Each structure stands twice: as structure tokens, then as C-alpha cells.
Amino acid sequence: MNIILAILFILSSLVVLKYSKLTLPPFFPVFLNKLLQNPKSKTKTYEVYKILEKLSLSIITALIIFFLIDFVPGKRNEKKALAINEQQLTNVYLNMGNAIAPIKMVLDINKKNKKIKLQDLKDMTTYSEKLRSKYYYKSKTYLEGREPKVNTIGIFLYPDDLVTTSAQIKKYIDSINALPSSSNLPVKLIETLSSIRSSRFLRICGDFEEPITKSNEINVHEFDLAFYEFLKLYRELNDFKFRKHSYVYTQLNEDEISELVTTKKKVFKEVKNTINKSNYRFIFQGIEYRVVDGKLIE
């Protein structure tokens, strides 16, 4: 839209210059001087440009008024709205990454998001007890302008954690939409957030909360395509300016898992009687501890 208005302003200005009797400075190219040469008076061309000049002046006046009254204040409001919603946008982006990174780990995909093809995701459509398991990982965190660092060693529960993460993404988008300032966000950003909120990927992840028969394999219709579309939306959201965290998950080997389980058992034994909750999480020395119904997920 802004490009169209800019082109309209330039064309209108050229018409006004051509109709005027002003001469361009000598350093302007010859072809431009000829292009803007004033038409001879009392000719049809002159009369046409007389009409076009009046129309062009009206357009230029309207564009100046639009720029001063609508465009500049609108950009100012956009900037304020982005500042108000920055933390929530960060949370949306962070949780999208918390869904994408572990799925790439489960499918053993080491490509950058923009390099992933639909055929790389074909195994996603088969959902069975074999895939429903826990994955021990270490995550590398990327923050714009800083060196990546190893953040946490933990467990990803597939697909249970996708249920939680998808609900978090929806919650943060809903909290953005609930603020009056959200109407001042860039239109493209509003459209992107709406597409994320209504995406098939989040809907399918929410459906994983329903129990399945352990002995059967279930075909999750177009889960691969839903994730592929979700990746595109993630990249679209990345185009906007706010604080972003992204992750890469790497599976631990058997020796690392054995050492991790031993450490977690020891620490949990020391702290379990000091916390008056049956369900909680905490991170100690870079290791995530998850307790459900008073029992440690090892």
C-alpha cells in the first residue's frame, strides 16, 4: 500500500512539473528535461495536462494530509503497541520454538527451518506408542546478538509436551488480542498471529490430550503438512522486531542419560521433603526436574 502511494505521489509530481514553466537545473539528465518539457499552449496536449495538473495537485494535497494526519500517527501507535506487546510476542515466539526444536530432534532433522522440506516430515503422520515416549536432551539457546549457550538438560515428553506448549501459545496470543493496543499492531503481524492461533498444528497438538489405544498405530491426517505450515508462520513472525529466543535440541547418549538419572535421583531425594507440592518443576545446576503426583520423572 505504501509503495502504491509513493508511486502515485511521484507520478503526480512529474505531471505538475511538466505543466509548470519551471526549468530543471542543467545538471539533470537531458532525457529528463525533455520528458518534463512544458507542452505548447493552446494545444490538446496542453489542455490535457492542464486537467491532469489540477488532479495531481489534489492528489498531492490529499497524500500530504494523509501522511501528516494518518500515516505518521499510525506508525507512532504501531511502535507503542509493539513495545507494549513485546514480552508477549517474545513468549509466543519462544513457545513456538519449544514445539519446533524438539520435533526436529525426534525426527532427527538437522536442517535450518527454512531448509526443511515436506518430505522430511513424513514420519510425523504415524502416531504410535513407540513415538509416545520421553527424550533426554540438552538445549542450545540462541539470542540475537549473542553467542549461543547450552541452557538446560531435560526431558521432552512426546507428544504430551506439545499439548502444554500449544495451549501456552494460544494463551499468549489471546492475551495480546485482549489488550486495546493490539488494534494498533501492524496489520501483517495481526494476520500472522491470527493464523498461528487458528493453525491446524495447534489444533492437532491439543487433540493429543485424548488417550489412544497403546497397541495401535494411528495415522494423524496431514500432521506433516500442519507442521510445515507452522514452520512458515514461525519464520513470518521472525520478520518482526522484538526480543527473540530460539533453540536447538540434541539427544543425550546412553552414558549421559545414565549419569543424568543418577544425579536427578540424588538431588530429588534431598529436596522432595522441602517442597509442599505434588506437581512442580525446577532447574538446578542446568538440569530440569519435573515432578508429577509427587514422583520424579527420571
| Residue 137 bridge partners (DSSP) | 154, 251
Closest to 101 (Cα-Cα) out of 242, 238, 248 = 248
Report the Cα–Cα distance between both ends of the chain, in Å, rounded. Answer: 55
Q: What is the pLDDT of residues 231-262, one digit of tens each?
A: 999 999 999 988 888 888 999 999 999 999 99
Q: Return the closest-CA partner of residue 287 out of 137, 68, 93, 145.
A: 137
What is residue 129's predicted lDDT score, i.e. its pLDDT?
Answer: 59
Distance CA 143, CA 151 (A): 11
User: 3-class SS at 159?
Assistant: coil
Question: How does DSSP classify residue 39?
Answer: P
Cis ω for the linkage preceding 186 (within 30 of 0) = no
Q: Which residue has the higher pLDDT, 289 or 24?
A: 289
Query: Could you report the per-residue pLDDT of 181-232, keeping only the tens digit for each?
Result: 888 999 999 999 999 999 999 999 988 766 555 556 667 788 999 999 999 9
At 85-109, the pLDDT tens digits run 999 999 999 999 999 999 999 888 9
The average confidence (pLDDT) of the chain is: 84
Helix (H, G, I), strand (E, B) or coil at 41: coil
Tens digits of per-residue pLDDT, 107-117?
889 888 999 99
pLDDT (average), residues 56-70: 82
Closest CA to 197 of 237, 157, 159, 225: 237
pLDDT at site 159: 83
Residue 25 has pLDDT above 70, yes or no: no
